[in-house]
Structures are given as C-alpha cells and as structure tokens.
C-alpha cells in the first residue's frame, strides 16, 4: 500500500499511543509462565504481540479479552504443552529470540519459524549462549538463521559476557536460566532495555541487577500479577519529532513509558535544543511512566556516542530525520546493529533522506548528517520496515512538496493506528 503525504504547518493536540511492544511481549510470556490469571491492561493491537499470544495459545495457555483487559491463565513454569505444529512468529524477532529461551526449559521438542524477512535475521547470538547452557538448538545456514529447532528440558546455569547490548539475547538467557539449577548471569557492554528483569522480579523471580550485569536464580515459581502497559515511547517518538520540527506545534502524550534504559530519545531531543516537559510521573507495576509535552523548537546537531545507542536503538530512524533539519552536523556513533533490524535501517533511511536532499554519510558504524533548511518531497520506500515508514512520514510532513511512501502496511507490526492518530493532529 502507498500513502501520499502533503506537508503540514503544525501538529496540535493530546494523544495516547498504543501500549509498549517490548513490555507487552514480556507480560504475555511471564503471565503464561506464572501461576494464576495475569490481567493485562493496555496490550496493543500489533502483529508482533499477536504472534506471541498465538504461540502461547498453541502451547495450551488460555488468553482472552474481557472488558478491555487481557487475561492470561498462567499454568506455571512447567504448564506449557507441546505445540502440535511449528510455532510461527511472523516477522517478530523479539518473539522468536525470547521464546527460544523459554522453550529451552521445556521438556518437549519444538520449532520456531517466521516469515521470509525474519528468516534473514541473525540467530547465532542466542544459539551460542543457549548451546553453552546445554540446550540442543539448531538453526539453518551455519547456525545463523531460522527456523530454530529446540530440544529443551536440561539447562545449565552460565555466566555470559555478551559483546552486543541486546535485550532479546539477555532475555533469552535469563528465561533459560529460570529453568536451571543455580544462578545464571548476563554481562553486557552497556545495559540494554531492562523490561524482562523488572517484570520477572515483579512476578517473584530472584533477580539481581548490579551495574551492567543481571543474574537470575533458577527454579523460583512466578505468581500472577496485574500489569498495566504504558504507552510505547518508540511510537511516541514520531510525534515528538514532528512537534519539534513543525512551527507552532504543541502536543501532550499521556502515560508514556519513561524507563531509563529506553528513554534516551528524551535526552537526545533536549540536547538538540527541543522543548520537552515530562510531567505527572508515576509507576505502573514494574515500569515508570509519565505525560510528555513537546512544543516546536529550533534544534542543532550533536554528537551521540555509542554508549547512548542501546537506549535509542529503535528511535534512530526518526533521530536521523530530526538531524536532517537541525542546524549543523549530527554524528551518531556505533549504530551497526541497525543493519540487522527489520531491514538495514542505515540504508533505508539514507535512501529516503538522500532523495529528500540530505547529505547522509556512513563511515564504518557511524552516521553523519548535515542539517538542511528544508527537505524536498519525494517518492519514498519503507523497505517493508515499520519504523522506516513512520520516520519518513514525519520527514514528509515537514518537507516542501508532496511525498509518497510505499509499503505502509508495514506499520501493523507495531502501530497500526499511526496515520489515523497523526492526521487527527495535523493542521494544514
Ligand atoms: C527489543 C529489543 C531491541 C529492539 C527491539 C525490541 C526487545 O532489540 O530493537 O525492537 O523487546 O527486547 P535488540 O535486543 O536485539 O537490540
């Protein structure tokens, strides 16, 4: 599907965005492994989360909707049953990688498959540590690609020093560790998002966090808890960028996740000179949330070092857009992981922004963007990637001349209502 986007003057209004995708996956997974009914409020309508829910239904977990609440009837750590067929997770990397850690602990054989997009995404990063834990796990193409065939049931605790900061890898190891006798520890170069450890702890697991390492003691039963999912800061970031770039804008976003391992975008925007206010801070279960107000402001280029990248990994496409319209040069170091997301997001964003007139250089794992006064409308491609699509839509709103974007169906992965919400806020 294609969409035509006309430039707009500003965006104004109050909005909510769908529940955080990462937290939602964990709520479904941990709810299924806990004892008793976990009631989840605010689960988003997204393809990825639907795939996680479907996988657990196929393993005998009742997941149903009752008056705006999702109820997961958890059956305990060993309550899952062998699925009749391979578990199909579509395009969801989070489902595939974390589920592999959970299946490592089950006393049955299983297979996880996905669509053609996910079949090209790297899996050795979980296959290696899970194999070190004694799990029989096989991938295709030299152990790198899905499908994954797992013979679970006997897991040894390990201490694993990960060379990349990846919450999906960390979570797979922690879940497998839950099924071992002893303590499993993951050490990261920089802390990745910590939703798994927060929620496991909230459900009663023995989890310890110290600096860049997290450990879990195997064997502790999880007890069902109520979970309220805050709005997804990754989805909110598109509106933050649009409000910052369009003169006269003012938006208020309600109940957004501000987890420090995720909310690097707030720091980046402030350093670039954006006008951001975080108000009404609260805790929703194991996660912090707040309302975020953003007004138009002039911005300038900055240097973002690699330590910052894990906390903005999914926001980088829209940060590239902001940098394109900020005064001076923005340099972002250590963004190599973007090459193995739903598409190569360095290439997809370079392709789109270059077509709009931006000087976008790539040197090794660093990106350098020279800000320009105005973007020109262009024919843009999403490359089947939801975040490339939404980031380019923001660029198109702030451009001179109309644009069209191909592949808008990709947004159903995380934020199917993106364009509906956006067009309600835009004033031409
Ligand atoms: C996610 C972790 C990140 C992120 C992805 C969701 C998660 O991936 O890019 O969208 O929910 O754990 P990595 O952990 O591979 O960096």
3-state helix, strand, coil in the chain (%, to 5): 35, 30, 35
pLDDT reported for residue 428: 63
The structure tokens listed for 130 are 């899970």
**Of 252, 204, 254, 251, the residue nearest 230 (C-alpha):** 254
pLDDT digits (tens, 9 = 90+) for 192-233: 999 999 999 999 999 999 999 999 999 989 999 999 999 999
**Mean pLDDT over all residues of the chain?**
97
Q: Which residues sit with their C-beta closer than 6 Å to ligand 1?
A: 22, 25, 94, 166-168, 171, 192-193, 313-314, 337
pLDDT digits (tens, 9 = 90+) for 2-34: 999 999 999 999 999 999 999 999 999 999 999
Share of the chain above pLDDT 70, in %: 100
CA quadruple 353, 268, 270, 405: dihedral sign: positive
* In the predicted structure, residue 129 carries a pLDDT above the cut 90: yes
Domains of the chain in start order, with CATH, are 2-19+230-426 (3.65.10.10), 21-228 (3.65.10.10)
pLDDT band at 70 (very low <50, low <70, confident <90, very high): very high
Torsion of CA 317, 322, 326, 329, to 10 degrees: -10
Share of the chain above pLDDT 90, in %: 99
pLDDT reported for residue 220: 87
Q: Which residues contact 427 (CB under 8 A, 6 or more apart)?
A: 8, 9, 10, 11, 12
Q: Which residue owns the Cα nearest ligand 1 atom 10?
A: 314
* In the predicted structure, residue 332 carries a pLDDT above the cut 80: yes
Q: Which residue owns the Cα nearest ligand 1 atom 9?
A: 314
| Ligand 1 atom closest to the CA of 21, numbered from 1 | 11
Q: Residue 337 in 3-state DSSP?
A: helix
pLDDT band at 335 (very low <50, low <70, confident <90, very high): very high
Q: Which residue owns the Cα nearest ligand 1 atom 4?
A: 314
Mutate to test the pocket of ligand 1, among 193, 306, 310 (most ligand atoms within 8 A of CB): 193
* In the predicted structure, residue 325 carries a pLDDT above the cut 90: yes
């Amino acid at each position: 599907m294609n969409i035509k986007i006309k430039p707009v003057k500003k965006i104004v209004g109050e909005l909510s965005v769908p529940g955080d995708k990462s937290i939602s996956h964990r709520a479904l997974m941990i709810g299924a492994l806990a004892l008793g009914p976990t009631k989840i409020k605010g689960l988003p309508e997204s393809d990825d989360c639907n795939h996680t829910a479907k996988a657990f239904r196929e393993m005998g977990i009742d997941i149903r909707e009752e008056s705006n609440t999702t109820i997961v009837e958890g059956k305990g750590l060993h309550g899952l049953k062998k699925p009749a067929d391979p578990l199909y997770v579509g395009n969801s990397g989070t489902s595939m990688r974390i589920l592999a850690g959970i299946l490592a602990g089950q006393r049955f054989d299983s297979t996880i498959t996905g669509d053609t997009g996910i079949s090209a995404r790297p899996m050795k990063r979980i296959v290696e540590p899970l194999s070190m834990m004694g799990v029989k796990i096989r991938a295709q193409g030299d152990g790198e690609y899905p499908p994954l065939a797992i013979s679970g049931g006997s897991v040894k605790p390990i201490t694993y020093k990960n060379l990349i900061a990846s919450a999906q890898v960390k979570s797979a190891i922690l879940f497998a560790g839950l099924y071992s006798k002893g303590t499993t520890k993951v050490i990261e170069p920089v802390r990745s998002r910590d939703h798994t450890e927060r929620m496991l702890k909230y459900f009663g697991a023995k989890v310890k966090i110290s600096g860049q390492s997290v450990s879990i003691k195997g064997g502790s039963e999880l007890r069902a808890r109520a979970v309220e999912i805050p709005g997804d800061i990754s989805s909110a970031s598109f509106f933050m960028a649009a409000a910052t770039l369009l003169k006269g804008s003012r938006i208020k976003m309600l109940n957004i996740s501000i987890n420090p391992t995720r909310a690097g975008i707030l720091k980046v925007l402030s350093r670039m000179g954006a006008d951001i206010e975080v108000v009404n801070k609260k805790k929703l279960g194991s996660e912090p949330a707040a309302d975020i107000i953003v007004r138009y402001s002039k911005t300038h280029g900055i240097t973002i070092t690699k330590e910052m990248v894990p906390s903005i990994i999914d926001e980088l496409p829209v940060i590239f857009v902001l940098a394109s319209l900020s005064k001076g040069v923005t340099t972002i170091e250590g963004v190599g992981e973007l090459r193995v997301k739903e598409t190569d997001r360095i290439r997809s964003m370079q392709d789109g922004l270059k077509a709009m007139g931006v000087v976008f250089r790539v040197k090794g794992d660093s990106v350098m963007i020279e800000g320009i006064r105005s973007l020109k409308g262009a024919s843009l491609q999403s490359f089947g990637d939801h975040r490339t699509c939404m980031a380019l839509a923001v660029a198109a709103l702030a451009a001179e001349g109309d644009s069209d974007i191909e592949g808008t169906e990709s947004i159903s992965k995380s934020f199917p209502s993106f364009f509906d919400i956006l067009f309600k806020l835009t004033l031409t």
